[in-house]
Homo-oligomer: A and B are copies of this chain.
Amino acid sequence: MVSGRSLWVIAALCGAPLLVAAHPTSGPVPAPDDNAPLAGYSADAARVERQWEAQFQAIPEPQRMRQALQRLSARPHNVGTPYDRDNAEWILAQFKSYGLDAHIENFDVLYPTPRERVVELVAPTRFVAKLREPPVPGDPTSSILQDQLPPYNAYSIDGDVTAPLVYVNYGVPADYAKLARHGVSVKGAIVIARYGGSWRGIKPKVAAQHGAVGCLIYSDPKDDGYAVDEVFPKGPMRPRDGAQRGSVMEMEVYPGDPLTPGVGATKDAKRLALSEVKTLTKIPVLPISYGDAEPLLAAMGGPVAPAAWRGALPITYHLGAGPARVHLRVQSNWGMKTLYDVIARIPGAEQPDEWIVRGNHHDAWVEGAEDPLSGQIALLEEARAFGALLAKGWKPRRTIIYCAWDGEEPALLGSTEWAETHEQELKDHAVAYINTDGNSRGYLRAEGSHTLEAFLNGVARDITDPETQQSVWKRWQARQIATGSTGERTEVRTRANLRIGALGSGSDYSPFLQHVGVASANLGYGGEDESGIYHSVYDDFYWYTHFADTSFVYGRALAQTVGTAVMRLADAQLLPYDYVGLAETVSRYAAQLDTLAKHEADSIAELNREVRDGVFAETSDPRRPTYAPDTIALPPHLNFAPLQNGVDALTRAAAAYTQAVTAVSAGTGAALAKPEIASINGRLLHSEQALLSPAGLPNRPWYRHLIYAPGFYTGYGVKTIPGVREAIEQHEWAQADSQIVRVGAVLQTEAGLVAEAAKNLNAAAR
């Protein structure tokens, strides 16, 4: 669902640096040192592990990835198509050919496909939108029309509306505040928003909240068209008639099958009636190309759009409303489709009841070479390599489960239904979930649970970047130095670990992390190539082998990275969760919330003062009038003490735990082989769950994690400590106070679990 470019995010780098040790910033990458210590391993175990890892890393082959990509992307394979099932069966056969125990798990889900789509300008002139992506000469798969989904937004309600057009920029709440300043209302209007600035599903939601009756979403060439680079097939960017498909279901409420919230969509599951579903859009929505958007935008009047709202079309962007009027008609086939999740299992030799789960989806909007297959081909090579290692005698300590998900694009369907079906097993057994999706060239991106931050840094230090022959960690660090502020650079140079980003949503980790409470990570390479084919017919083998990781060396790097992480988690004697990194990160989030609350209070006071003082009236140009916003009630002071106490408790427990790990790892680390360690692991694997609350977040109980969630008004973008943060952002002060108490409580629970583990470890060390 998320392209390499879209999700390629350097972790935010502000706040108090944790100075641990300086790392040299130059010099050749050290040769893999078999004697280097590994967290959670005794010296002997580390040596053995590193030898197996070296063997593993030698196996993935770019040429095989290329062949797999060509096979999997040969035809359109969205949910419900024959080739979707065919791909699943091929993947199953691959797993089996590697010697793995594998099967397909089916679910039946609601999945609408387009029946009718009309966009036409009816005034002041007439223009009928094409709503089609033409084939490109030389690109063989772009001309396959059979099973090719035309551009549409899945889970838009049906509708037929004709109304004046209003341009709403990215269509996020702040954009509507700006429109109001210009005296423009979207009540009764069709809005046209550009892609970007939020997940697409937020745009119709916010538009409907403001009274709009329809929503068009177009790809402006400024964001992923000719302004960025040449367009396909000359370059990698979106051509004039290219459009971005995508789901607009309200996944920030819950993802997965809309008919079975919270439970697996198995044959016998109890299902909602379609009329009971709350996560469809409230107004009809369609995505359009900039070729189709230009005549609509050019026909608009009203105030000129603010500078930051202007795209790269050769026109003057106006806000509307009028004189442009648009007719929008959307009708879907509201049918059920079958999902094909492919699941392979490598049983653990010593702790088979502890699972490392690794997944990547296989369904695509059309051919999906980049999204998701560039990640899927790495997953396949990892699985093949594990098959080879098993044949050589490698016996993973824990169970490894490889998953090729179906139905990610419409709503994380395959992963969510699987995680909901197996929720209790995952709670009992899952150590970690590691996800990938689209992959490209450049720098490692790593996001995830902060208990895994140190672990993922360790893996990154051991993987060689194919372009520079430095470690990928080194290149990751160099990029942060090159792009960071002075304060950020200092931290990047001195902190033991590079910060990983927090997980919002947009790929299959969501159900694992945010619903079930499995420590999760999302990995990929990117940041060098531009891409404007996201969710279009042009995301295909031709495009990928001309403009992305054309030699598949980053595909291999991804397989090496993820496979190493999976092995290292699977074989560790003590699970390598790090709670100091978690505590420090949560402490930063808490400080951000304090700053945010003060900032909101100051902003409200300033706004009210400016309204009272007539600043808005005096800076209104009578020829282009602007209007003052309403004054806002001043907020109360919030009681952050419960949160701060929770942070302090976790910080103390984490320090004690780290000390205990040092004690148990002392000498050769022989104590790590003691049987007590197994029972400590059994408790530690519940530590991510301790950060969840059964009641979930306000108004969206499916999301139970109190530290990480997709934003209610950003969609994919993460909100950390979301209950508190969003309450402050929405000025719901009483809710902010009550959410602080809840977050403080889970942090205390987590601290208790960690402190107990420290005590047990200290006992084992003796």
Question: Which residues of A are at the interface with B, using a C-beta cutoff of 8 A?
Answer: 25-26, 221, 226-231, 235, 237, 304, 307, 310, 312-317, 441-442, 467-468, 470, 474-475, 478-479, 481-482, 486, 489, 528-529, 602, 606, 610, 612-619, 621-624
In the complex the two chains form, is B616's CB within 8 Å of A482's CB? yes
Closest to A27 in B: B614
Contact residues in B for A304 (Cβ distance below 8 Å)? 228-230
Report how far A479 CA is from B626 CA in the complex, Å.
13
Q: Is A310 within 8 A of B615, CB to CB?
A: no
- Chain B residue at smallest Cβ distance from A603: B486
Q: How far is the CB of A87 from chain B (nearest CB, A)?
A: 30
Are the CB atoms of A470 and B25 closer together than 8 Å? no
Q: Which residues of B contact A314 (CB under 8 A)?
A: 221, 226, 312-314
Write out the residue numbers on chain B whose beta carbons fall within 8 Å of the beta carbon of A481: 610, 613, 615
Distance from A29 Cβ to chain B, minimum over Cβ atoms (Å):
11
Residues of chain B lying within 8 A (CB to CB) of residue A624: 528
User: Are B606 and A489 interface neighbours, CB within 8 A?
Assistant: yes
Q: Which residue of B lies closest to A478 (CB)?
A: B618
| B26 and A614 form a contact (CB under 8 A) | yes
Give bound CA distance, A228 to B205, whole Å. 30
Known: A226-B315, A228-B304. 17 other contacts (CB 8 A): A25-B615, A26-B614, A228-B307, A229-B304, A229-B316, A312-B314, A313-B314, A441-B623, A468-B617, A468-B618, A470-B618, A475-B618, A475-B619, A481-B610, A481-B613, A482-B616, A489-B606
- Whether B316 contacts A619 by the Cβ 8 Å rule is no
Chain B neighbourhood of A227, CB < 8 A = 310, 316-317
A313 contacts across to B, CB distance below 8 A? 314
Contact of A478 among B229, B475, B614 (CB under 8 A): B614
Nearest chain B CB to A595 CB, angstrom units: 14
Closest to A294 in B: B314
CB pair A619–B226 under 8 Å, yes or no, is no
Most buried by B among A312, A470, A619: A619
**Complex: A470 Cα to B619 Cα, angstroms:** 11
Partner pick for A235 among B226, B316, B602, B622, CB 8 A cutoff: B316
13 A-B residue pairs with Cβ-Cβ distance under 8 Å, sorted by A, are A25-B615, A226-B316, A229-B316, A235-B316, A467-B621, A478-B615, A478-B618, A479-B618, A479-B619, A482-B610, A482-B615, A486-B602, A528-B621
- Taken together as a complex, chains A and B put the C-alpha atoms of A312 and B442 apart, in Å, by 29
On whether the beta carbons of A26 and B613 are closer than 8 Å, the reply is yes
Q: A313-B314, A314-B313, A316-B230 are in contact. Are A442 and B489 (CB under 8 A)?
A: no
Contacts of A229 in B (CB 8 A): 304, 316
Q: How far is the CA of A283 from the CA of B235 in the complex (A)?
A: 35
A467 touches B613 (CB 8 A): no
Chain B residues whose CB sits within 8 angstroms of the CB of A221 once the complex forms: 314
Contact partners of A606 in chain B: CB under 8 A: 486, 489
Taking a contact as CB atoms under 8 Å apart, the answer to whether A613 and B482 are in contact is no
How far apart are the CA atoms of A713 and B314 in the complex, in Å? 32
Q: How far is the CA of A489 from the CA of B467 in the complex (A)?
A: 50
- How far is A715 from B144 in the complex, measured between Cα atoms in Å? 58
CB-CB < 8 A to A602: which residues of B? 486
Q: How far is the CB of A418 from chain B (nearest CB, A)?
A: 38
The answer to whether A26 and B612 touch across the interface, beta carbons within 8 angstroms, is yes
Residues of B near A617 (CB, < 8 A) are: 468
Tell me which residues across on chain B come within 8 A of A529, comparing CB atoms: 623
Contact: B619 with A482, CB < 8 Å? yes
The minimal Cβ–Cβ distance linking A238 to chain B, given in whole angstroms, is 12
Query: Which residue on chain B has the smallest CB distance to residue A235?
Result: B316
A474 x B528 contact (CB < 8 A): no
A109→B613 CA distance, assembly (Å) = 54
> Which chain B residue has the least Cβ–Cβ distance from A474?
B618
How distant is the Cα of A670 from the Cα of B621 in the complex, in angstroms? 45
Question: Is the CB–CB distance between B615 and A442 below 8 Å?
Answer: no
Complex contacts, A618 vs chain B, CB 8 Å: 468, 470, 474-475, 478-479
Residues of B within 8 A of A235 (CB): 316
Are the C-beta atoms of A622 and B25 separated by less than 8 Å?
A: no
Residues from chain B with a CB closer than 8 A to the CB of A312 are 310, 312, 314
Find chain B residues with CB under 8 A from A442 CB: 621
A273 to B744, CA, bound (A): 83
Residues in B neighbouring A475, C-beta threshold 8 A: 618-619
Query: In the assembled complex, how far is the CB of residue A380 from the closest CB belonging to chain B, in whole angstroms?
Result: 26
CB contact under 8 A between A478 and B619, given known A26-B613, A310-B227, A613-B25: yes
Q: Which residue on B lies nearest to A468, using beta carbons? A: B618
Contact B228 A622 (CB under 8 A): no
Q: Are A623 and B478 in contact, with the CB atoms below 8 A?
A: no
Tell me the bound Cα distance from A528 to B470 in angstroms.
Answer: 54
Q: How far is the CA of A307 from the CA of B478 in the complex (A)?
A: 21
A623–B616 Cα gap in the complex (Å)?
Answer: 50
The residues of B that contact A307 with a CB separation of less than 8 Å are 228
Name which residue of chain B comes closest to A443, CB basis.
Answer: B619
Cα–Cα, bound, A489→B615 (Å): 12
Chain B's closest residue to A483 (CB) is B619
Give the one of A307, A441, A482 with max B CB within 10 A. A482
A293 to chain B, nearest CB (A): 13
What are the nearest 9 A-B pairs in CB distance?
A478-B618, A25-B613, A314-B314, A528-B621, A482-B619, A26-B613, A26-B614, A478-B615, A226-B316
With contacts A228-B304, A229-B304, A482-B610 known, is A623 near B528, CB below 8 A?
Answer: yes
**A460 CB, nearest partner CB in chain B, Å:** 14
Residue picked from A227, A441, A606, A624, most chain B C-beta under 10 Å: A227
The residues of B that contact A615 with a CB separation of less than 8 Å are 25, 478, 481-482
Cα distance A289–B606 in the bound complex, in angstroms: 44
Which residues on the B side are within 8 Å of A619 (C-beta)?
Answer: 475, 478-479, 482
A182 to chain B, nearest CB (A): 14
